[in-house]
Amino acid sequence: MKRTIYAAALAVLLAFGATAKAEYPDRTITMIVPFAAGGPTDVLGRIMAQSMSDILGQQVIVENIGGAGGMTGGKKVAEARPDGYTMLLGTVGTQAQGQTLYKHPLYNSVTDFSPVALIAEVPIVIIARPDFPANNLKDFVAYAKANTSKMSFGSAGAGSATHLGCVIADLAMGVNITHVPYKGSAPAMTDLMSGRIDFFCEILSTAKALIDSHKVKAIALMTKQRSPVEPNIPTAEEQGFKGFEAYTWNALFLPKGAPADVVKKLNDATVAAMNTPSVQERLQKLGASIVPPDRRSPEYLGSF
């Protein structure tokens, strides 16, 4: 009888041990950056991933999957298991603009993801090849109107924020310049510096170092206020282009159906990283504005 009771008790303990879940996270987390390495989203993602690794006690690695204006990487996350080990560093392009630009988007950004946290907003700046024969927006527009058929601009992919920034610029200038899409900002920037394309509406976080080293030429910031990290770059607004604005944002998403406790754990880690002085300093130096506390919840991101 005692043996029977002992065997039954042991069976219960073994069954419990087999079904008990390890506390999340208990292994490496992958952050999908839907653009090429070296671009603005990649830079921000790696800063956040390093800090979140320390906070979570598990490594957060970055995997770059470019293509389709960022939707290729977004699709991989949308189709991943909702266990918290695959997340997307989304942008205004992958989560908002692409949904209306494409007739058949690769996913539904509202229903196919679990929002985690909005992180930062970053202005877009018009930059030109280093030998471009204009130094301000007025002269840039004059040159573009006189040489429209000869010019081209690059982007991080069709439908990306960098593409739409230049579309807005084209509309404001009254021209239709040839678009050359790339699989990310880094290869587009390489061609800009070598003079293969004429200009690029890049996110300030990536453009800053090249502007400071005079490898590209800054023409105008596409926001209404100047950036505190690049105060010498005039805005398009102050150069006569009223209502002229383009910027991007970055946020973390999990696949739909992610457990609430996992979403909370990642949100807590994301917010903790955003509150880390070294992260704030690095992001601010890149020109990124970290969103205030009342805009950091999963619920806010879902409505946003």
DSSP secondary structure letter of residue 230: B
Buried b (16+ CB within 10 A) or exposed e, 75-97: bbbbebebebbbbbbbbbbbbbb
Please say whether the dihedral angle defined by the alpha carbons of residues 62, 73, 216 and 286, taken in this order, is positive or negative.
Answer: negative
| pLDDT exceeds cutoff 90 at 97 | no
Instruction: Calculate the alpha carbon distances from 166 to 16, 180, 198, 200 in Å.
Output: 58, 11, 12, 7
Radius of gyration of the chain (CA): 23
Mean predicted confidence (pLDDT) in 140-145: 96
pLDDT, mean over the chain: 91
Question: 32 and 40 in contact (C-beta within 8 Å)?
Answer: no
Predicted confidence band of residue 67 (pLDDT cuts 50, 70, 90) = confident
- At 124, give phi and psi (nearest 5°): -105, 140
Quick one: tokens of 98?
């692409």
**Tens digits of residue pLDDT in 22-47:** 899 999 999 999 988 988 889 999 99
The model's pTM:
0.77
Q: For residue 212, give every residue at least 6 positions away whose Cβ sits within 8 Å of its Cβ, in sequence order, or none.
A: none
Q: Which range has the worst mean pLDDT, 84-93, 98-107, 264-273?
A: 98-107
- At 199, give phi and psi (nearest 5°): -155, 170
Going by their DSSP bridges, the two strands 199-203 and 29-33 should be labelled as unpaired
Per-residue model confidence (pLDDT) at position 108: 96
**Tens digits of residue pLDDT in 192-216:** 999 999 999 998 988 988 999 999 9
